[in-house]
Amino acid sequence: MKNTNEVLQSKLDGENYAKLAKINNQFLNDFVARYVELCNPKKVFVSNGTPEDINYIRNKALENHEEVILKIRGHTLHFDAYGDQGRDKAHTKVLLEKGEGLDKFIVTGEREENLKEVHEILTNIMEGREMFVCFFSLGPANSIFSVPSVQITDSAYVAHTDDILYRQGYEEFKRLSDNPLFFKFVHSQGELNERHVSKNLDKRRIYIDLKSETAYSANTQYGGNTIGLKKLAMRLAIHRASKEGWLNEHMLVMGAHGPNGRVTYFTGAFPSMCGKTSTSMLEGETIVGDDIAYLREKNGKAYAVNVEKGMFGIIQGVNSKDDPIQWKVLHTEGEVIFSNVLVLPDGSAYWIGHDGIVPPEGINHSGEWVNGKTDEKGKEIPPSHPNARFTLHLESLENVDPKLHDPEGVLVGGVIYGGRDSDTWVPVCESFNWEHGIGLKGASIESETTAATLGKEGVREFNPMSNLDFLSIPIGKYIEINIEFGRKIANPPLVFGVNYFLKGKDGKFLNEKNDKKVWIKWMELRTHSEVKATKTPVGFIPKYDDLKRLFKEVLNKDYSYEDYVKQFTIRVPENLSKIERLRKIYSEIKNTPQRMFELYDEEEKRLLEAKALFGDYITPDKFKEV
């Protein structure tokens, strides 16, 4: 490699070289120079996070045809390639040294071999294009939660998305000066076709190198594969956190508003398309974040921050009735990026679940589209992709929490775990204690697959803490760290399991979409011991009278005892089957904490004792109030 300054000066003009020099970090300069030389861009733009630099990137996304202008001012549209609209789990690898290994659920690759491969793919990949070098802070800047990060990309769309989703970090890098501890991300969309989307999907690679804390992404544009500070950074942060004693979780952070102006903060983990964003966006509550949280113990208490400052949300099903706050932003002037939705002839956006009838025609990720269009296999192409997205600033939402950027974080009162479960869990259930919550709620999430990942839908998958896809440490160690985290805290947050997808014998959902508003209010009251509960073998469930009152107060809706019984009947065979499945899974996972098996044994015993008394399906009235 040539001298660092020589490489930088050959591609950076005076202004951009000066912006990099002001950071005064030789580790950073060496990193940037290495990929300038390898990727060989025509020129390099260094963003210092000023409005002028952010606007430059935004305009480049339009100029490069990575985004197009929509009807509403500030709204733009981006398309990903057909087949590049979800996380590529098969080609997303955590890189390990020879002899190292992780659990079979985590896709890994030999470090030296895969670094060689991705560097070969990246060689000259940016030829003729502009490289963008951008600086961000994961978590609020100048805080114990802060993780400085640098993104290199040749996609103005990716850089534009980062500018919406993350806090600018140029000043943070200047403050830290010659510090080597920053996350690094290298991305190239690769060769593009006539629609300006990634062409060589067979060479799509997403590699996370734990040793150098660097993530690589090539020949893809979809945000889950390319927005390095999002899910790629999670692998890096989970690995770092495991050594430093904090947690990086796939969690929302929200403020639930209780009596007399009280706000209680919850974190919550749900697999994609299982209600995480809609929970964080509940009307009447406030949002700190909808996707990724850092949690730390301070003075014997648990605090959390949103790693991001924006939202990269699934748009399917968003409508004016169920999602009024999001709907308003998506139909108001302001900065929003839509991806993989249908654009109508008048320049407006339409997606599955949008108000009104399905339009007859438009343009979507498959090209020119008409209602009833089929793909080469004869399968009908919907107007928008099921994993179509929107990207917006959280501060554009009217329910944004005032503590969004608080460097101290928010005090966590409760932790919620949920998945897509049609037959086992009740709609809301409080664990007996922190260990029971981590083991039987968080580490026991099973969820039916959705369109957020490439592959089959509707398959029940094991997904501890909704974080399996993003782990970079052994599962057993990850669970042990979560259990240990609660032991540091004098009074750990209460832990709840929720299930928005429970079905009756007729196959119909037993919950309506907005019932979750009531479950949140009940959980908020429980964190302050203001309502009693009924003790069942699987945890504490609400009393009917409390839910009846809350349904009336929150939704102005009558809640029948018949509905309560259907929803909160304990399904013993299904719960026992779940324990059997999970015990088998964990018995094959190395270093699973022994406490997990004890928790399963204890729950199984409680269920069998209840079954002996009351049968397979036990209505709530058979259990005692506590």
Q: Which residues are catalytically annotated?
A: 274
Q: How many other CB atoms are found less than 10 A from the CB of residue 461?
A: 18
Give the β-pairing of 533-536 and 539-542.
antiparallel
514: Cβ contacts below 8 Å, ≥ 6 apart: 322, 555
Strands (E), 476-596: 494-498, 533-536, 539-542, 570-571
Q: Rounding to the nearest 10 degrees, give the CA dihedral for residues 201, 203, 206, 212.
A: -160
H or E, element range at 78: strand 75-78
| CA distances for 319 relative to 154, 300, 332, angstroms | 34, 42, 14
Return d(Cα 536, Cα 380) in angstroms, integer: 46
Record the tokens describing residue 10, joined without a space. Answer: 């050959």
Q: Quickly list DSSP for 327-380.
A: HHHTTSSS-EEEES-EEPTTS-EE-TT-SSPPPSEEEETTEEEETT-B-TTSPB
Task: Give the type of residue at 154.
Answer: D
| Helix segments in 201-316, DSSP class H | 223-226, 233-244, 276-280
Rounded to whole angstroms, the Cα distance separating 390 from 86 reads 14
What is the DSSP code (8-state) at residue 125? T
- E-only strand ranges, 458-530: 460-462, 494-498
Q: Which residue from 395, 338, 346, 387 is spatially nearest to 75, judged by alpha carbons?
A: 338
**How many H helices and E strands in the chain?**
18, 33
**Tokens at 48, concatenated:** 């210092």
Amino acid, single-letter form, for residue 343: V
With tokens 């993780």, the residue in question is 147
